[in-house]
Structure 1
Amino acid sequence: MLSLRDITISIADEMPLISGLSVDIEPGSLRLIQGASGSGKSTLLSVICGTADRNVHATGDVLLNGRVVSGLDAEDRRIGLMFQDPLLFPHMSIGDNLAIALAAHHRHDRKARVSDALELAGLAGFEGRDPATLSGGQAAR
């Protein structure tokens, strides 16, 4: 479960974009974040994931399965975002795009991990394909 406790977000010393937000989001449930341009929707998501810019000031706690993750680096939170428009490098193969995310792993291990990830996504054998050949749903996976 993702829980937000008394989250307040402001940029620099401006008035808060979000003030006192508390919510529990059950696994598998859907929630809508709606608001005008500049109201703090993307900033809230970056605070949850731990990727907020330095000029973003956030207070409160982000909890994942009851554990406070607010003070952790983004990679230690194990929270990710899936954007509406997938960000794939068009000049690279699908396998090479995935390998970028695995750069921290040993080079000899990356190829096998890319193959495993594609198989889990139902895209086995797509390593060498051009990203432009993917449907929207395939690219999101």
Structure 2
Amino acid sequence: MNSAVTHVGGCLCGAVRFTINAEPQGARYCWCRDCQRIASGMATANVLFDAESVSYKGDMTTMQLVADSGNTVERGFCKSCGSQMYSKTVVGPVQPMRVRAGTLDDPEICAPSYIIWGSRAPTWAPFPTDMPVYEAGPGSSRIA
């Protein structure tokens, strides 16, 4: 863990705060159906970090669901305002923790560079020009 790098953030009401002691591994948009439901019809914007580098404080709740990938994913929410803070794979291949970009105090730290689950997006979905779009999760076929 690199203690020289610190990123911070929190939920809408301020009841949950977090510290990240690492640089992001990247960022992406996700158009899976779970993320569309979480983001009220849009994709989620996720900044990727090693889970060990992220530390949350505050009253949170979690839920686990089997995702479109077949992996079991845990999502963390603020108990007071309902802001979704993160998702992470708890059963399946090891993957980075996905911190919701909007919860970072500085959402500019890492812009998304690709889209996953593009095949699940509605036809009206706004895809940034020249951004790679993948059919499903990381490592799937590119569709655009």
| TM-score for both structures, normalised by structure 1 | 0.27
Compute the TM-score of the two structures, normalised by the length of structure 2: 0.27
User: Which of the pair has the greater relative contact order for Cα pairs under 8 Å at 6+ separation?
Assistant: 2
Question: Greater strand share, 1 or 2?
Answer: 2
